[in-house]
Amino acid sequence: MPRAEPVAPVLVFGWGNPSRGDDALGPMLLEQLDALLAATPLRGVELLTDFQLQVEHALDLAARQRVLFVDASLNGAAPFEVTALTAARDMSFSTHAMSPQAVMQVFRDLHGIEPPPCTLLAIRGERFELGEPPSEAARANLALAVAWTLRWLAAQNSGGAPMIPGEAAHA
């Protein structure tokens, strides 16, 4: 069914399982952004969350100018890493849970065009066990990631250049 409302040019998509400790960092960032964006003049931003990326999420990339994927990372640098993404068919392409690159590849295959510019914000976590609460270190990393994301969104909203992936990740 087609969307009734126009598509926001910027999508922030966070995923993770709130029942698995630091795996909840993606959804937690979106919850905080939702509260913060309600009080700011930023327009044209849609927030979307799910437990994992799936093939259907390729449809969410349509008509976007930019996409920020947000996930927890066990192996990334603290407090977070920012990476520009390119579409790619990887091992997750035919699985139930996909990588952002595989979702982008599905978009390319469906539409015959390149997906919008996509960036991955990988927030460092420590504990991912079922029933664990988010760790203190992950919460501290999350606070820095939220601040970075607000700057990224403001740059998008003002028409200015977005932060370059890898730039000032610790700022």
- What is the pTM assigned to this prediction? 0.86
Q: Which residue has the higher pLDDT, 90 or 137?
A: 137
Alpha carbon distance 157, 165 (integer Å): 17
Q: pLDDT digit string (tens) for 52-90?
A: 999 999 999 999 999 999 999 999 999 999 999 999 987
User: What's the pLDDT band for 161 if we cut at 50, 70, 90?
Assistant: very low
Tokens found for residue 146: 């939220």
* Chain mean pLDDT for the chain: 87
The Cα 90–Cα 106 span in angstroms is: 11
Q: How far apart are CA 26 and CA 49, in angstroms?
A: 8
What is the pLDDT confidence band of residue 5, given thresholds at 50, 70 and 90? Answer: confident
* Superfamily of 10-158 according to CATH: HybD-like (3.40.50.1450)
**What is the rounded distance in angstroms from the CA atom of residue 35 to the CA atom of residue 143?**
14
Q: Is 165 or 75 the better-scoring residue by pLDDT? A: 75
- Report the distance separating Cα 166 and Cα 163, nearest Å: 8
What is residue 74's predicted lDDT score, i.e. its pLDDT? 93
